[in-house]
Amino acid sequence: MEEGPIPRTRIRPTNHKSDEALSPDRTPLRIPRPWSSRASTWCLLILAAAWALGMLAMGLALRSGLLPLEPRAAVWAGTGCGLVGLLAGLSMAAVELRVGRKSDAVEPAKLTVGFSIASVIRLVGTVALVALGSYQMPAAKHVVAGTILAWYVYLTTVEVTVWALQLPRLDQRTISRS
């Protein structure tokens, strides 16, 4: 049983831009991307949901006596860390909107500035929360710092995970064989 030569398949370059379509006369149409298709919007929504779930879980743990914290200090730390995380996410969204206006495709390499700004906001905000909380809250300093650190790790992990899932979708260079 002898097989013939392998048939050649022509790989056509495809346009993976979500904001471009072809009109009936085959000219590109520019369709603006809605705000909900931006990665930073999804990141903010998921971060807010994770913050709300974390506050609920912390409230239940405080009510049942699993956390040895004063409720006022725990709510203050959770609220402050959530606001710092959302502020950092908003800065990332602002950078993505600015970069997205200048070009059709948002390149992940251009988002490095946004990641840097968000990291600085998160770091400075967390240090400020620890400084304020250790002097203003009636709980022990190590308990307040531990609570803020736990919130920082939790919210940063959620945000990094969401961005790790969203960035490959932003990369226009990916090739689909389907």
- Per-domain residue ranges of the chain: 36-170
Residue 27: per-residue pLDDT = 54
d(CA 9, CA 7): 6
Alpha helices per DSSP H over the chain: 39-64, 71-102, 112-136, 141-170
Residue 105: per-residue pLDDT = 55
- pLDDT tens track for 91-135: 888 877 776 655 545 565 667 888 888 889 999 999 999 888 877
The three-state DSSP-derived secondary structure of 121-162 is HHHHHHHHHHHHHHHHCCCCHHHHHHHHHHHHHHHHHHHHHH
Residue 146: per-residue pLDDT = 86
- Contacting residues for 46 by C-beta, under 8 A, at least 6 apart: 158, 162
Residue 170: per-residue pLDDT = 63
Residue 153: per-residue pLDDT = 93
- 28 pairs with which residues across the strands? 22
Residue 108: per-residue pLDDT = 59
The answer to whether residues 70 and 139 touch, using CB atoms and an 8 Å cutoff, is yes
- Contacting residues for 120 by C-beta, under 8 A, at least 6 apart: none
Radius of gyration of the chain (CA): 23
- Rounded to two decimals, what is the model's pTM? 0.69
Angle between helices 71-102 and 112-136 (to 10 degrees): 160
* Residues of the chain with confidence (pLDDT) below 50: 10-22, 29-36, 104
Residue 29: per-residue pLDDT = 45
d(CA 163, CA 43): 7
